[in-house]
Amino acid sequence: MKRRLLFAILLIIVLGLILKYGAAAAAPIAYDLPPEAAAFRPGPNLDVVMNNCTGCHSADYIVTQPRGPKFKTDFWRAEVTKMIKVYGAPIPDADVPKIVEYLAATY
C-alpha cells in the first residue's frame, strides 16, 4: 500500500514539473520568410484576385501553371473551381468570373 501511495505522489510531482516546465519549452519559434519570387501582374480585377487568392498562396503558384492558347478561360475556370471544391477556398460565386477573367487575360 505504501508503494502505491509513494508512486502516486511521485507521479503527481513529475506531472506537475512537466506541466510547469514543459510549456516553456514549447515557446513559438519566429523566423523570417524568404522574399517573394513572383508578384501578381497588373490586370483586370486584380483587387478581386488579391482579396481571394493571396490568403492561401502567393503568385508563385499561378506563374507555375501551364501556358499557351489552350490554357485560357476553361483551364482557369477549372482551376478556380478546384480551389473552391477541393481545397475549400472561400471564394464567393460572384467573384469566380472576375478571377477567371484576370487569370485568362494576364497569364
pLDDT tens-digit series, residues 18-42 = 777 665 566 788 888 778 788 999 9
What domains appear along the chain, each with residue ranges and CATH number? 46-106 (1.10.760.10)
Task: Give the whole-angstrom CA distance, residue 29 versus residue 27.
Answer: 7
Mean pLDDT, residues 66-87 taken together: 93
Name the residue with higher pLDDT: 83 or 32: 83
CA nearest 100: which of 70, 68, 69, 78?
A: 78
Q: Is the pLDDT of residue 16 over 80?
A: no
What are the distances in angstroms from CA 69 to CA 75, 85, 106?
10, 25, 13
